[in-house]
Structures are given as structure tokens and as C-alpha cells.
Chain A
């Protein structure tokens, strides 16, 4: 006897398959216009990054600026395009745990082996 027959014999009525509603969306996602605007911002930030690369400035300042700008891009993509700003916190905590863990342990590891960080 197959399992499906067994199930039928038990007389369990089949529930019609419904797509699982993703209740993870607490708020509505933004629309195309907003996405496009963020795209423009991302493009501008990239242009600034490349621009300051060619500027002659103190190394420390350059590094700080570049890291700051890439963090900004990172956050824009993650928060809007990946909807972490709008979705359930559980998703973001899973991801951010990975991000922070990676940054933390490799900073410690690199400083222990004496690696140059930047």
C-alpha cells in the first residue's frame, strides 16, 4: 500500500494548495520610482568614490572616506533592495549576525597574525 493510498484510506480530505502567504512583509515594499532614485544615488556615490581615489589626500582620510562611502552603498542596497528596512527583524538579525561575526573575528584574527588591515 502506498502512503498516499494510506492517507486516502484515512479519509483525510485534501486541502487545496494555497501559496503560502508571506506574512514577513510588515510594510509595503517601495515602488519602482524609489528604487530608481536609490539607483541614481548609488551611481553618484560610486562616482564620488572613484573621484576621491584620484585626489591627493592623506591616506588615513582617504581610507576613512572610502570605507564610509562603501558602507553607505552597502546599507542602501541591503535596506532598500533587499527590503531589510521593511521586512521582519528576524531576517535582518540572521544576516547582520553573519556580517558582524565576520568583521569581528577577522579583525581579531588579522591583528593577532599581524596583518595590515588597510
Chain B
């Protein structure tokens, strides 16, 4: 490889950078992680980071539940409660479910389509570091108050940040500034990975991997990525408008100047509803991978499931007003969006029935991944059906902003997304660690979580229907809500316990887990055809794909009755043969520090906007150094 002369060459700093980059090109050590552009390592970092934020968001949830366990709770005051539930919502959406999905995109997409990496490995590293920077920045807001006096500095206007509550007048302090800019930074990270995965999926497929041979998870990643790149700009603009209002006295959401707070709601939900599908589609993709493997049966009606996923992606643009039925938009708007909301239930239903069809007649191994996937189906069905009740607009006038909605959204995002993500963790853990998670502990985790989850959130349907509004920090004892809230609190701690079991499981497995071979579950997709953990270059030789579930077809052929017959030849089962020698040269991208440097620029710019323009200038300089260094350094260097 001809080395292109870098601008950094010839001076000491540049030389040091080159040396550092070289040093990072090893398999071990902290620098090899910091400068990595390997999609698998980035995926693992995404997952671990998101899990830490999950614990943070979970602790916030427990505080909320403790406060509401009994009437007139006094664990936190109204102000602290506002900040904690705002951070809980923001954290769980932007710092947990989205990045956990991103972790799976990173880990799996290149493996599933038979690629050596994503299309833009450094952009990928940039996404991760920007996400981390945004997450830390957002949580740093807690410390802008005086935490020892119990004054938290976190945002206090809800994760949805409805104007005018977010204006400087009604939310003094810097909480909302941190929130807006934190989301802005996280948006950059999501957009970058959205672009990256679309290009990767369209362009990096192995020979023969036509679009309709792609695993369903890859399809869902594609749809999700499109939703990300088209939905994020809308919230970006909305957040800019909010920042202009707060920092420079602009009037976007100022009724006194003739502005309307509804503009914020429209923009927020124009982004927000596709966002809901950004959260749930990857989960659907995971389940669609887990079920066929553990039932030893292909996904029922694959083209229909793909189509319904794509349909959901399109339709998600036409339902945003169902978050705004009670804002008084008029009968025509409410009718139209009521009907569109009902319609989006159809492709969702198709998916649920297709999953049942996949299980039916299979040979189902009831291991932890399958249990979580099955739990997902049941819980998501409840969430989907309560969603249908929301489309009955006049009935929703009653349920809007009550605990009924809290129940609904948690059935979708926890019962749905988190159950599926745990299914994915149990399923793919052996692929990336080389060790199988303990199944018995997995079962304990599953049942505790299922029971705890239902104990927490099912009663919320009832407290909501009994008239309990969301986001109240306290309630009196005469409303009949006490029992339901107490149940929710007990349930929340049961969930916490189940998460503890999971962490113990990971710890035990790390010490003395069963070694997993390359294909512990009798998998169907390409990632199981390579060693566990996969080598940095994934495939010694790029596979040639002949069918959907290609790896399965390498292991089994079908007899006349359609029953699979194992192919006896061991060769087909062997993890990639070592014939890289004679074959293609494997050309991996070199590690780079510049994505990290560029990412550090963003929180500096944000802090600068809030406190001091000098910091902003430093941040901008750091960002520019990162971007120029990145653009000018060669992608690969030997």
C-alpha cells in the first residue's frame, strides 16, 4: 500500500500521532480500543456504555417508584422529581434503547451481510464517541445545581420538553440547555450511524446477498436507519429553535410575540413517532432472528414480514398527531390521524402473527433467548393492543397523559424493546465473547423480569383509568390509586433484582462460562459460520450467498417432504477454512484517533454556548482538528 503523505508528516506532533496510531494497531490494550475502527469492538463499547446508562436510568426509575409507592411520598420533592423523571425518559430513549440497538447494528450487520467492516469505519467510531460525549454531557447536568443541598441541575421539563415550559422564564437554570444540546450531540451520533448503515447494507453485501436474502434484522436496521436520517433533522431544527429562544431571545415558541407552543409539539412528534419505530424495529429484527433459530424453522412469510417492516417505516410519518389529540386541532385532523393510527396496527399485527407462525410446528428449544423472544411477543402484543385503544380518539381524550399511557409505552419499549434486546444479548453473547451465558440463571432472569415487569406496568393501566395523571410527584390517598402504585413499586424492584441476576450471570460467565463453538445454537445466518469471537477481519474469505438463511442451507438439505437432512460432510460445518493464504489479501482499515478528537469538540462547543464563548472557540478548534486530521489521514496505512 502506497503511503499517502500526510500533512502531519514532517513535524513532531504528526509523527507522534502516527506512532500512536501504529501502537493502537494491536489486539490488546486500552489504546487499541480507543482508536479502534473495528465494528465489533465499537458494538461492544456501545453495548457496555448503554448498559451503564440503563443502570442509571433504572435507578432513576426506582426513585420514582419509591416516591410513588404510597400516597404523599416524601423521598424527593417536586423539583427533584421533575428532574429525575425527565432524565429517566431521556436516558432510556436516547442513551439506552437507541444505543443498544446501535450496538447490535454494529456487531451484527457486517457479519450478517458477509462484510469485513462497515462502509465507513472511522465514521462509525465517530458515532460511538459522539454518543458517549453526548451521554456524559447530558448526565453532567445533574451537577450544575448544588447536589449536596439536594438541588439537582438536570432538565426539568420532561423528555418531550413541551414549550413554553422549556422557556427561560419557566425553566431557569441550565438544565434545559444541557438537555437540548445533549440531544443535539446524540442526534449527530445517530445520524452518522444511520448514514453509515444504509451505505453498508446497500453496498457492502457479499456476492449473492440480494436484498431479499438479507436476514430480517438487516432489513429492520435499514428501515431504522432511514427513519433516523429523515427524522433526526426535524428534531435538530426544533432543538435549535429552542436554543435560539433560550439563548438569544428568539420567539419561536413565545406566545407573547405571536408564536405558538404547538409548533414545538408538531416538530417533536414529527420526529417522535418515527423515533418510536426507531426504538422498536430493531427489536422486531432481533426477535425475527431468534425465533427461527430456536424453532429450527425459517421465518414464516419472510417477504410479508419484510414488507410490513417497510410499511411501518413509511406509515410512521403519518401518525404523529396521535400524540396531540387533546391539543384541539379539530375534528378533521383527529379523525384522519385516528384512522392512520389504526392502520399502522395492521403491519404490526402481521409481524406478531408471522412470529407465531414461525414457532408453530417448529422444534422449539426453550433456552433463554427464546424465552425472552416469546416474552417479547406477549408483552408487545399487550402494548400494541393498548395502542389501538389510543386510536379511538374520544376514548383517548380520557387516557391521554394518564398512567394508562405510561403502561402502554412501557409495554412497547420495555416489554417490547428491552425484552427483545435481552433476547439478543443471550443469543449473540457467545458469538462475541466465545462463552455461553448460563441458561439456568438466564431463565431466572427471564421469569423475574417477566413477573416484575407485569407487576410494575399492568397496574398502571388501572391507575390510569382510575384517573391518575402522569408526572405527578405525589397523590392523595382518596383516589383508589394506592394499591396499584404499591404493586408497581414492588414490581420495579423485582425488575431490578432480575437485572442483578443478569449481571451476576455475566460475571460468572466471564470467569468460567462454557466455551461456545462457532455455532452453539445451530444458527441460520452468516455470523455463525465464523469463529467465536470472530477474527478482526470477520471472514477469511468473503462468502458467496445462495439463499436466505444461507448458513442453514450449508448444513442441511431438504428431502422430498420438506424435512431437513443434515449434510454429512464436515467441511460445510467447519468454521471458515484457513485458505486465506492463497486467496485475497485482507485489507483492514487502520485505527484512528481523529474520530474521538472530533467527538470531544461537541460537548466543548455546547458548554461554551451555555457558559463562555471562549470554550466554544476551543471546542470548534478541536472539532476542526479532528475533522481535518480525519479527512487528510489515509484510511489504511501499512
Contact = CB atoms under 8 A, between A and B. Distances in A.
A58 interface: no
A17 B25 CA distance: 20
Nearest to A108: B318
A4 B260 contact: no
Q: Which of A97, A105, A112, A113 has the most CB of B within 10 A?
A: A112
Interface stretch (A8-16, A25-33, A34-42, A78-86): A8-16
Given A105-B270, A109-B270, A113-B263, A1 B27 contact: yes
Interface in B305-328: 317-318, 321
A12 B585 CA distance: 5
Range, interface on chain A: 20 to 34
Given A3-B27, A113-B262, A14 B587 contact: yes
A90 B585 contact: no
Interface string B133-156: 000000000000000000000000
A99 B395 CA distance: 36
Q: Which of B270, B585, B638 has the most CB of A within 10 A?
A: B585
A11 B580 CA distance: 8
Contact of A15 (B25, B26, B270, B587): B587
Nearest to B269: A109
A90 to B, nearest CB: 7
B536 A3 contact: yes
Interface string B22-37: 1001110000000000
A15 B588 contact: no
A90 B211 CA distance: 14
Contacts of B504: none
B559 interface: no
A10 B581 contact: yes
Interface in B215-270: 230, 260, 262-263, 266, 270
Contacts of B581: 10-12
Contact of B26 (A1, A14, A16, A109): A1
A17 B260 CA distance: 57
B236 to A, nearest CB: 13
A4 B587 CA distance: 9
Nearest to A11: B581
A103 interface: no
B202 interface: yes
B2 interface: yes
A108 B583 CA distance: 56
A104 B333 CA distance: 15
B1 interface: yes
Contacts, number: 63
Nearest to A106: B270
Interface string B6-27: 0000000000000000100111
Contacts of B563: none
A89 interface: no
A2 B580 contact: no
Interface in A41-61: none
Contacts of A63: none
A96 interface: no
Given A4-B25, A11-B581, A14-B587, A90 B202 contact: yes
A10 B583 CA distance: 11
A109 B266 contact: yes
B1 A14 contact: yes
B622 to A, nearest CB: 28
Contacts of B230: 97-98, 101
A2 B585 contact: no
Given A98-B230, A109-B270, A113-B263, A15 B584 contact: yes
Contacts of B536: 3, 6
B118 to A, nearest CB: 16
Interface in B578-604: 580-581, 583-588, 590
B585 A3 contact: no
A103 to B, nearest CB: 12
B329 interface: yes
Contacts of B636: 17
B325 to A, nearest CB: 12
Contact of A105 (B317, B329, B537, B583): B317
A45 B202 CA distance: 38
B37 to A, nearest CB: 11
A29 to B, nearest CB: 22
Contacts of B266: 109, 112-113
Given A4-B25, A109-B270, A112-B266, A10 B321 contact: no
Nearest to B262: A113
B31 to A, nearest CB: 12
Contacts of A104: 317
Contact of B585 (A6, A13, A98, A113): A13
Contacts of A4: 25, 590, 638
Given A1-B26, A14-B638, A17-B1, A112 B586 contact: no
Contacts of A109: 266, 270
B317 A101 contact: yes
A60 to B, nearest CB: 24
Contact of A2 (B1, B26, B329, B333): B26
Contacts of B202: 90
A4 B584 CA distance: 15
Contacts of A105: 270, 317
Contacts of B263: 113
Given A105-B317, A112-B321, A7 B1 contact: no
Contacts of A14: 1, 585, 587, 638
B333 A12 contact: no
Contacts of A17: 1-2, 636
B317 A2 contact: no
A3 B270 contact: no
B6 to A, nearest CB: 15
B55 to A, nearest CB: 33
A101 B131 CA distance: 27
Contacts of B590: 4
Contacts of B585: 12-15
The 10 closest A-B pairs by CB, nearest first: A12-B585, A2-B25, A15-B585, A11-B581, A112-B333, A109-B266, A12-B586, A3-B25, A2-B26, A13-B585
16 contacts: A2-B26, A3-B27, A4-B638, A10-B581, A11-B580, A12-B581, A12-B583, A12-B584, A14-B1, A15-B585, A16-B1, A17-B1, A17-B636, A90-B202, A97-B230, A112-B266
Interface of B: 1-2, 22, 25-27, 202, 230, 260, 262-263, 266, 270, 317-318, 321, 329-330, 333, 536-537, 580-581, 583-588, 590, 636, 638
Given A108-B318, A113-B262, 8 more contacts: A1-B26, A2-B22, A15-B585, A17-B636, A90-B202, A105-B270, A105-B317, A109-B270
